Amino acid sequence: MLRDLLKGRLFGHPVHPMLVHFPTVLFITGVLFDLVGLSGAGGWFHSASGACIGLGLGAGVVAALFGFIDYLKIDEEKDNKIVFNKASWHAVIQFTVMILFGIQFILRYKQAAYFGEPNGIELLLSVLGLLLMLAGNYLGGELVFKHGVGVHREK
């Protein structure tokens, strides 16, 4: 099983697509909780947002490790330069998303040792990160569903 994990597979299935849903949902939920909290619903939503974003960062690191394993399997010459370029853009965009949410997370936590109401910069980082994440997820979907990256059985 460890050998399969090092190849990015678990029980014959690719691991990266199994994991990407967690940071996606956690980041979306974090931003939504902040927006609800800003509408006057209370500080609990901001604390929950911080927890979601923190968990999303952790899940994103794990998903990225398996995504990197899949990325290393792409042969630029054999698989097609378009696939390689899409995979590269997907990686750069998602890395940027992690950086934006990471900066926002650190700023908010350093501010008060708990997650209070986000200021304008922190909210902007979250919304920008969310929009970029959706673009990166679109590219990831193209890689899997259109080009079959990470889903072909190894021979």
pLDDT top residue among 46 and 155:
46
The size of the chain, in residues, is 155
Predicted confidence (pLDDT) per residue in 42-95, tens digit: 778 998 999 999 999 999 999 999 999 989 888 766 768 889 999 999 999 999
The DSSP secondary-structure symbol of 114 reads: S
d(CA 105, CA 101): 6
Beta-bridged to residue 14, according to DSSP, are 9
Reply yes or no on whether the pLDDT at 35 is more than 50: yes
3-class secondary structure, 1: coil
Give the CB-side neighbour count of residue 146, counting CA atoms within 13 A: 11
Could you tell me what percent of the chain has a pLDDT over 70? 92
The rounded radius of gyration (Å) of the Cα atoms in the chain is 17
For 149, residues 6+ apart whose C-beta sits below 8 A from its C-beta are 70, 74, 79, 83, 87, 143
Specify the pLDDT at position 154: 53
What pTM was computed for the model? 0.89
d(CA 53, CA 49): 6
Q: What is the widest separation between alpha-carbon atoms in the chain? A: 56
Q: How many CB atoms lie within 10 A of CB 42?
A: 10
Reply yes or no on whether the pLDDT at 111 is more than 70: no
Strands, E assignment, the chain = 9-10, 13-14
Please give the mean pLDDT across all residues of the chain: 88
14: left (phi over 0), alpha (psi -120 to 50) or beta: beta
